[in-house]
């Protein structure tokens, strides 16, 4: 009986040791947070893998074959190393069937295929610099609301005076019925403007973003910001961009930052470009283990980066991918040596993709996903559980057999 108990304990010990080593390896990849992270409750973060089969169209059938092949190879390079059983099979001149396994985030996976890979470094307009333009936009929106309210009041008065017995007024004036405008608060109805802060020397500083926008409001806000009567009051070299989605896991109040990109002539205001990047590696930021990107520029890029950061000390600069602002830190001092870091609300998978985009550059042709199928592939947790169970059984059986070699059973 003792042999059985000891064998079970040895088997359990071996299984637990394997589990601990596997969790340490996972923790090292994800957060580098230390041994204590192995024992944290992460039941809500169970990873489910997917297998994918996609049909993609690269450019158009009439495009140059070499450009189509070049685009396909760049997509393959982006995906390789991050997914298993990767294959791209040609269907027609510009159509391909793409397969891959072990996909965690299907959105990141699709972005790796369709995103152009355009990387930019840009200066930004801060809130105080365009406050006058924003005030004019507010005034225009409020004036529109006042005119709309007046029309609505006129329609109500007409309803009262007409004899509704001859027919429903709503049928007569249906095309004139106007819903209540959401412009009553001007831009503040859509944007929660970011407040400035006071730094150590007592000076007021502005962040890189103008404020936060709810995802559902971006369509209406885009219509407002693209209205010629409003855009005419902003600097001609200003372009509004959004940042990455800031997801709040504890509520539905996820927000997107709004930025004002400043387009400048590189001849007078040097800034680095994607083709000057020589290294882009995913890494982890101590002490919280947040995924980041480590960048290095060639000599020309390092000089441009130094000049750009030098003229923007105590001001924000933006790093942009596919017209989405990844991060916009305030520069504390000019950065020499061509080394830099990109921090943001990234996942490990996103940092790996962005690094590959920075090295490979923009796709020569636009790529579209024409059909997509994702199926559950295998849960990492289930695979690990099966391995631990097999290890437990084998180690218990082995230790039970070895015990007889060390000390044979006593004869009755």
Rounded-to-integer distance, Cα 297 and Cα 275, Å = 9
The answer on 392 and 344 residing in a single domain is no
pLDDT for res 2: 60
Rounded-to-integer distance, Cα 316 and Cα 81, Å = 34
Count other C-beta atoms under 10 Å from residue 328's C-beta. 22
In a domain? residue 205: yes
CA distances for 286 relative to 20, 246, 304, 328, 343, angstroms: 22, 21, 28, 20, 12
Q: Are strands 324-327 and 238-246 parallel, antiparallel or unpaired?
A: parallel
CA distances for 32 relative to 24, 38, 343, 370, angstroms: 9, 11, 16, 39
pLDDT for res 367: 94
Give yes or no for a contact between 387 and 18, defined as CB atoms under 8 angstroms apart: yes
The answer on 237 and 284 residing in a single domain is yes
Nearest to 303 by CA among 262, 265, 273: 273
In a domain? residue 99: no
Residue 159's pLDDT band, with cuts at 50, 70 and 90, is low
Whether residue 155 has pLDDT greater than 90: no
The answer on 304 and 391 residing in a single domain is no
The answer on 399 and 269 residing in a single domain is no
The answer on 134 and 36 residing in a single domain is no
Q: Are strands 290-297 and 197-198 parallel, antiparallel or unpaired?
A: unpaired
User: How many helices and strands, by DSSP H and E, does the chain display?
Assistant: 10, 16
User: Whole-number mean pLDDT of the chain?
Assistant: 79
Count other C-beta atoms under 10 Å from residue 57's C-beta. 20
Give yes or no for a contact between 94 and 58, defined as CB atoms under 8 angstroms apart: yes
In a domain? residue 88: no
The answer on 390 and 311 residing in a single domain is no
The answer on 292 and 149 residing in a single domain is yes
Report the alpha-carbon angle 319-321-325, nearest 5: 55
Q: Which of 35-49, 55-69, 233-247, 326-340 has the lowest mean pLDDT?
A: 35-49
CATH of residue 287: 3.30.1360.200
The residue behind tokens 């009553």 is: 184
Tokens representing residue 248 in the block: 């709040």
Which residues are within 8 A (CB) of 85 and not within 5 positions of it... i.e. 6 or more apart? Answer: 51, 99, 100, 101, 102
Rounded-to-integer distance, Cα 343 and Cα 312, Å = 18
Give yes or no for a contact between 211 and 194, defined as CB atoms under 8 angstroms apart: yes
DSSP 4-51: HHHHHHHHHHHHHHHHHHHHHHHHHHHT---GGGGGS--GGG--EEEE
The answer on 142 and 197 residing in a single domain is yes
- Identify the bridge partners of residue 124 per DSSP, sorted by sequence position: 261
Rounded-to-integer distance, Cα 285 and Cα 351, Å = 12
In a domain? residue 111: no
In a domain? residue 248: yes
Whether residue 41 has pLDDT greater than 50: no
The answer on 196 and 135 residing in a single domain is yes
For 245: left if phi > 0, alpha if psi spans -120 to 50, otherwise beta; the answer is: beta
Residue 203's pLDDT band, with cuts at 50, 70 and 90, is confident
In a domain? residue 136: yes
The answer on 390 and 344 residing in a single domain is no
The answer on 13 and 136 residing in a single domain is no
Rounded-to-integer distance, Cα 245 and Cα 249, Å = 12
In a domain? residue 81: no
Host H or E run for residue 305: helix 299-310
Tokens representing residue 62 in the block: 């009439």
| Arithmetic mean of pLDDT, 15-26 | 56
Q: Which of 20-29, 264-273, 318-327 has the lowest mean pLDDT?
A: 20-29
What is the chain's alpha carbon radius of gyration, rounded to the nearest angstrom?
A: 30
Residue 123's pLDDT band, with cuts at 50, 70 and 90, is very high
Q: Which domain holds residue 393?
A: 2-43+380-406
How many structural domains are present in the chain? 2
Which residues are within 8 A (CB) of 37 and not within 5 positions of it... i.e. 6 or more apart? Answer: 27, 31
In a domain? residue 348: yes
The answer on 319 and 208 residing in a single domain is yes
Residue 8's pLDDT band, with cuts at 50, 70 and 90, is low
Give yes or no for a contact between 158 and 177, defined as CB atoms under 8 angstroms apart: no
Host H or E run for residue 284: strand 277-285
Q: Which of 12-26, 169-183, 279-293 has the lowest mean pLDDT?
A: 169-183
Rounded-to-integer distance, Cα 350 and Cα 392, Å = 36
């Amino acid at each position: 009986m003792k042999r059985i108990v000891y064998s079970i304990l040895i088997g359990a010990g071996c299984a637990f040791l394997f589990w601990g080593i596997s969790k340490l390896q996972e923790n090292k990849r994800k957060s580098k947070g230390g041994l204590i992270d192995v024992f944290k409750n992460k039941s809500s973060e169970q990873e489910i893998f997917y297998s994918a089969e996609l049909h993609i169209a690269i450019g158009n059938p009439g495009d140059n074959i070499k450009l189509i092949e070049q685009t396909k190879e760049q997509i393959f390079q982006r995906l390789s190393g991050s997914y298993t059983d990767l294959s791209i099979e040609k269907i027609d001149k510009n159509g391909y069937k793409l397969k891959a396994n072990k996909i965690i985030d299907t959105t990141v996976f699709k972005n790796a295929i369709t995103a152009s890979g355009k990387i930019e470094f840009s200066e930004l307009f801060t809130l105080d610099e365009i406050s006058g333009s924003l005030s004019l936009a507010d005034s225009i929106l409020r004036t529109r609301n006042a005119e709309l309210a007046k029309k609505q009041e006129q329609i109500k008065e007409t309803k009262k005076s007409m004899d509704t017995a001859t027919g429903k007024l709503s049928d007569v004036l249906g095309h004139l019925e106007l819903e209540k405008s959401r412009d009553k608060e001007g831009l503040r109805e859509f944007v929660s403007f970011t407040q400035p802060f006071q730094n150590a020397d007592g000076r007021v500083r502005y962040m890189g973003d103008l404020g936060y926008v709810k995802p559902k409001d971006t369509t209406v806000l885009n219509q407002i910001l693209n209205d010629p009567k409003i855009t005419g009051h902003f600097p001609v070299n200003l372009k509004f961009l959004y940042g990455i989605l800031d997801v709040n896991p504890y509520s539905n109040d996820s927000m997107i930052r709004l930025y004002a990109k400043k387009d400048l002539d590189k001849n007078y205001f040097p800034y680095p470009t994607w083709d000057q990047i020589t290294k882009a590696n995913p890494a982890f930021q101590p002490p919280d283990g947040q995924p980041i990107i480590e960048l290095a520029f060639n000599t020309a890029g390092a000089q441009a980066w130094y000049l750009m950061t030098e003229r923007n000390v105590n001001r924000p600069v933006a790093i942009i991918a596919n017209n989405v602002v990844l991060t916009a830190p305030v520069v504390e001092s000019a950065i020499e040596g061509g080394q830099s870091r990109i921090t943001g609300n990234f996942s490990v998978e996103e940092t790996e993709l962005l690094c590959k985009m920075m090295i490979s550059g923009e796709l020569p042709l636009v790529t579209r996903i024409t059909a997509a199928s994702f199926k559950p592939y295998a849960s990492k947790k289930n695979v690990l559980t099966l391995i631990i169970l097999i290890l437990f059984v084998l180690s218990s059986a082995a230790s039970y057999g070895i015990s007889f070699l060390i000390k044979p059973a006593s004869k009755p």
